[in-house]
Amino acid sequence: MSGLRSASDLPTALIPTVPYEVVRFTLPNGLRVVLSPDRSAPVVGVAVVYDVGIRSEPEGRTGFAHLFEHLMFQGSENLEKLAHFRHIQGAGGTFNGSTHLDYTDYFETLPANALERTLFLEADRMRGPRLTEENLRNQIDVVKEEIRVNVLNRPYGGFPWLKLPPVMFDSFANAHDGYGSFEDLESATVSDAADFFAKYYAAGNAVLAVSGDLDVEEARRLVEDHFGDVPARPAPTRPDFSEPDLTSERRNAYTDPLAPLPAVAAAWRVPDPIASVEEYLPYVVLAEVLTDGDASRLVQRLVLKDRSVTSVGGYIGFMGEPFEVRDPTALLLQAHLPADAPADGADKVLGVITEEADRLAHDGLDPGELARTVARMGTHLLRDTDAVLGRALRMAVVEQQRGDAGLVGDLPRLLSAVTEEQVRAAAATLVAHRRAVVEVQPGGGTR
pLDDT of 78 above 50? yes
- Please check whether residue 234 lies inside any domain of the structure: no
pLDDT at 152 over 70: yes
Q: Is the pLDDT of residue 10 over 90?
A: no
pLDDT at 443: 86
Same-domain status, 297 and 219: no
pLDDT at 77: 82
Q: Does residue 7 have a pLDDT over 70?
A: no
Q: Look at residue 18 and tell me if it is in a domain.
A: no
pTM of the model: 0.94
Whether pLDDT at 316 is above 90 = yes
Tell whether 15 is covered by a domain: no
Residue range 20-73, pLDDT digits in tens: 999 999 999 999 999 999 999 999 999 999 999 999 999 999 999 999 999 999
Same domain membership, residue 403 and residue 314: yes
> Taking phi first (over 0 means left), then psi (-120 to 50 degrees means alpha), and beta for anything else, what does residue 3 get?
left
Stretch 316-323: mean pLDDT: 95
Question: Is residue 17, in this structure, part of any structural domain at all?
Answer: no
Tell me how far apart the alpha carbons of residues 246 and 170 are, in angstroms, rounded to a whole number. Answer: 10
For position 13, what pLDDT does the model report?
74
* CA 203 vs CA 50, 208, 231, 236, 305: distances in Å: 9, 9, 8, 11, 54
pLDDT band at 164 (very low <50, low <70, confident <90, very high): very high
- Domain-embedded: residue 167: yes
Q: Map residue 98 onto helix, strand or coil.
A: strand
Q: Looking at the structure, tell me whether residues 190 and 81 fall in a common domain.
A: yes
Distance CA 113, CA 98 (A): 25
pLDDT of res. 243: 96
Are residue 52 and residue 145 in the same domain, yes or no? yes
- pLDDT surpassing 90 at residue 201: yes
Range of the domain at 93: 23-227
Does residue 137 fall inside a structural domain? Answer: yes
Among the candidates 227, 262, 285, a domain finishes at 227
How far the first Cα of the chain sits from its last, in Å, is: 67
Last residue of a domain, one of 195, 227, 259: 227
222 Cβ contact list (under 8 Å, min separation 6) = 115, 116, 119
Of 1-10, 196-205, 215-224, 260-269, the least confident: 1-10
More confident residue, 10 or 123: 123
Contact assessment for residue 365 and residue 423, using Cβ atoms and an 8 Å cutoff: yes
Torsion angle of C-alpha atoms 331, 335, 341, 345, degrees rounded to 10: 0
- 278 in the same domain as 161: no
DSSP track, 345-414? HHHHHHHHHHHHHHHHHHH-PPTTHHHHHHHHHHHHHHHHTTSHHHHHHHHHHHHHHHS-GGGGGGHHHH
Element (H, E) at 210: strand 206-212
Residue 445: pLDDT above 60? no
395 domain residue, yes or no: yes
Same domain, 184 and 319: no
The pLDDT tens digits of the residues spanning 116-136 come to: 999 999 999 999 999 999 999
Q: What CATH number has the domain bearing residue 259?
A: 3.30.830.10
Encode 69-84: b = buried (16+ Cβ within 10 Å), e = exposed: bbbbbbbbeebeeebb
- Whether residues 121 and 256 share a domain: the answer is no
Domain match, 99 and 218 both: yes
pLDDT tops 60 at residue 216: yes
pLDDT at residue 5, as a whole number: 39
Question: Which pLDDT score is estimated for 344?
Answer: 96
- What is the rounded distance in angstroms from the CA atom of residue 136 to the CA atom of residue 194? 11
Residues 307 and 202 in one domain: no
Would you say residue 8 has pLDDT above 80? Answer: no
**For residue 133, what pLDDT is reported?**
97
Mean pLDDT of 368-393: 95
Which of these ranges, 174-178, 193-197, 255-259, 442-446, has the smallest mean pLDDT?
442-446
Do 412 and 361 share a domain, yes or no? yes
Q: Residue 403: inside a domain, yes or no?
A: yes
Give the end of a domain, one of 196, 227, 258.
227
- Say if CB 206 and CB 33 are below 8 A apart: no
Clarify whether residues 220 and 261 are in a common domain.
Answer: no
pLDDT at 378 over 70: yes
Residue 107 has pLDDT above 80, yes or no: yes
For the chain, what percent of residues have pLDDT higher than 90?
Answer: 94
Q: Which of 1-10, 217-226, 394-403, 423-432 has the lowest mean pLDDT?
A: 1-10
- Average pLDDT over the chain, rounded to an integer: 95
Whether residues 292 and 191 share a domain: the answer is no
Q: Give the total number of structural domains in the chain.
A: 2
**What tens digit of pLDDT does each residue of 83-92 get?**
999 999 999 9
